[in-house]
Amino acid sequence: MLSSTFLSLSLFFLTSIATPAKRYDLDGNGIPDLCTTNSDGTASCLLSDGSLTTVKASTTIPVPRATVTLPDPVTFKKDNGTKWSIKYVGNLAFTDTLQAKGLGGDKCRSSKLGNKVIWSCGDMECKGGFTTCGFSMGPAFYGTSSVLTVDTTGISLVQSNDFVVPFSGDPKPVAPQTAFGMDTSNVAAINATHGVAYAFEIWRGASDGSFVNRGNAVVSVTLGNEKPIATRVGPLLTGPDTIQLGLLAILRDGDFIYTYSIGGPSGIIVGRVAASDKVFSASAYSFLVTGSTSTWTTPGSIPAASSKTFGMTTANSGGKFSCGAYGSVFFNTYLGKYVIICTAFENFTNMYVSATPFGPWSAEYGLLDGWGIGYGSMAHPEFSTDGGKTFHFSQGPDGPFNMFEVSFNL
């Protein structure tokens, strides 16, 4: 809440920092609030308790600049166990029947909308297969106060929490395919009550394992009483040959939703769209041009999967990110940087940092090495209570999700 202390602090910050940061921390919890700049010069900010407040831009408090500096990646590796550490803290748990029956699966992403944490997962079923508690190609649940526990109380069939589903008009699978697949992104907030998520629809379930790409879907996300609700806003946004929009991750930052997709010469293509109803229109997205750190295309179409024209920059060797398919992008207040977490070759979980949501990104920092197979590494920054000095990520696949805690002491 805004108090007189914060107001006077804000005057101090505004006079002591020549160019105030665009991020604001009105509730003083060390985590930037989500703000939209209004045309009249005010900012509407979503606080961590889910309430929305409108303030004059001049009365908001810039997030204090981070004072820590990450060493280079080679030194960082040597500093493992001293300046930073990583530890396995257990497996992600569910509650009630689905926990008793051993619910598991591919990947579970966390997001925040209003004051709720939403967990949206990949293919999920219980031990013993689909006869035990059903099967969902992407259920979503609410969180609890613990990063280690997802609230599945009262749910007996996992598909009762299906999240993104085919649109009524989407053509049905044709033999040999028998089923849909609906690979889904995390959720990004548009305002206190509505979020957005993306999915890539496929046909699958053929006896020979073949599948057919169908295209990108977008949904409006709202907070139902019992579960998060995804509403398809229309038919597919694209045909089958485009990038998988936002399937690496999505991020709300300032007035934009950023979409991160595998593709382009560097391995990651970033797009952006106004955080409004514009998200539902394929022609409203622009993309960062390869080799540039500030040139965005005029909003038009979503790039082809084969396009070489778009992509973010990394200082990594060969100019390529080592990200397999999925990951997370978030702002870490302790580092004062945007962070990408992803997995390469299912064996190495890496981190990249940048001063902006769209790069240029650092070379890769190794976080976890030699743990065995790790797939779909997903960060859970919603649960950091110490301004990001500590954060968690989980990774699968095909069963339990191992949870790791990363702590910095730079």
Ligand X SMILES: *[C@@H]1O[C@H](CO)[C@@H](O)[C@H](O)[C@H]1NC(C)=O
Residues contributing to the site for ligand X (CB under 6 A): 77, 80-81, 86, 190-191, 193-194, 220, 276-277, 345, 347, 366-370, 372-373
CB of 319 to ligand X, least distance (A): 21
Any bridge partners for residue 42, and if so which?
56
Tell me the C-alpha distance between 395 and 118, whole Å. 17
Task: Give the count of beta carbons closer than 10 Å to the beta carbon of residue 322.
Answer: 18
For the chain, the 3-state helix, strand and coil shares in percent, each to the nearest 5, are 10, 40, 50
Closer by beta carbon to ligand X, 273 or else 367 = 367
| Burial of residue 24, with CB atoms counted within 10 A of its CB: 0-12 exposed, 13-18 middle, 19 or more buried | buried
CA dihedral of residues 167, 171, 175, 178 (deg, nearest 10): 10
Closer by beta carbon to ligand X, 124 or else 187 = 187
- Give 129's contacts (C-beta < 8 A, 6+ positions apart): none
Closer by beta carbon to ligand X, 86 or else 273 = 86
CB of 191 to ligand X, least distance (A): 4
CB of 404 to ligand X, least distance (A): 9
Closer by beta carbon to ligand X, 54 or else 301 = 54
Tell me the C-alpha distance between 237 and 278, whole Å. 12
Count the alpha carbons within 13 Å of 407 in the hemisphere toward its beta carbon.
10
CB of 113 to ligand X, least distance (A): 11
Residue nearest to ligand X (CB): 366
Closer by beta carbon to ligand X, 150 or else 273 = 273
CB of 279 to ligand X, least distance (A): 7
- Give 195's contacts (C-beta < 8 A, 6+ positions apart): 111, 113, 118, 187, 188, 189, 220, 221, 222
Closer by beta carbon to ligand X, 310 or else 393 = 393
CB of 172 to ligand X, least distance (A): 29
Closer by beta carbon to ligand X, 190 or else 249 = 190
CB of 233 to ligand X, least distance (A): 9
Closer by beta carbon to ligand X, 86 or else 342 = 86
The one-letter amino acid at 172 = K
CA dihedral of residues 280, 223, 259, 215 (deg, nearest 10): -60
Tell me the C-alpha distance between 186 and 46, whole Å. 18
CB of 393 to ligand X, least distance (A): 13
Cα separations (Å) of 70 from 40, 62, 332? 38, 22, 12
